Amino acid sequence: MQTPITVTTGSTATDVTTAVATCFGALGTVGALLLALKLWRNDVARARRAQASTVHGYKDDGMYVVENNSNGAVYDVKAPRTGQPVVPLAGIIPVGGKAVAAVDDGEPERRGEKNPITFSFTDQAGVRWTRHRAGGRLEEVPNDL
């Protein structure tokens, strides 16, 4: 005597549970990939700004001073002035160096204080930056070369 074989058609509870778990697993994988991409992009942006964020400028006793405290040279340092020609400050400022230039910008100066200035420069990666006097904001700008 042979044992009858039972054949079931359609979905069982186990099949549905497996399908739901697979869908959640796939969504979790996609979410993890998107988060990894976002974190990578943030790291790239942070690295891009790293050198530029350590270059500062100020006016001291009538002189414009730009200090390069970064780990690479900066190039083509200029100071734009409202309604006047752009003033070239330095062709290159080496690591740990500074450029000093006499610039008459017509603005009052507080003696004994380092008054921030607006200036632009190119970092070692060829990215052009402007550091703004107001708040020291750093902005990536199109390279005008």
In angstroms, rounded to a whole number, what is the distance separating the alpha carbons of residues 41 and 68?
A: 26
Average pLDDT for 54-77: 93
Poorest-confidence range of 38-47, 56-65, 98-107, 114-123?
Answer: 38-47
Do 91 and 127 lie in one domain? The reply is yes
Mean per-residue pLDDT of the chain? 85
Do 70 and 130 lie in one domain? The reply is yes
Give me the domain span that covers residue 34.
Answer: 11-50
Do 134 and 101 lie in one domain? The reply is yes
Predicted pLDDT at 134 = 84
CA angle 37, 38, 44 (to 5 degrees): 90
Do 119 and 69 lie in one domain? The reply is yes
Domain count of the fold of the chain: 2
Predicted pLDDT at 8 = 65
pTM: 0.68
Do 69 and 45 lie in one domain? The reply is no
Q: 59 near 51, Cβ under 8 Å? A: no
Q: Is 67 exposed, middle or buried (CB count within 10 Å of its CB: 0-12, 13-18, 19+)?
A: middle
Give the pLDDT confidence of 92-139 residue by residue, as tens digits: 999 999 999 988 777 766 666 788 999 999 999 999 999 998 888 898
Residue 35 lies in a domain: yes
Tell me the two tokens of residue 59. 């006016």
Residue 24 lies in a domain: yes
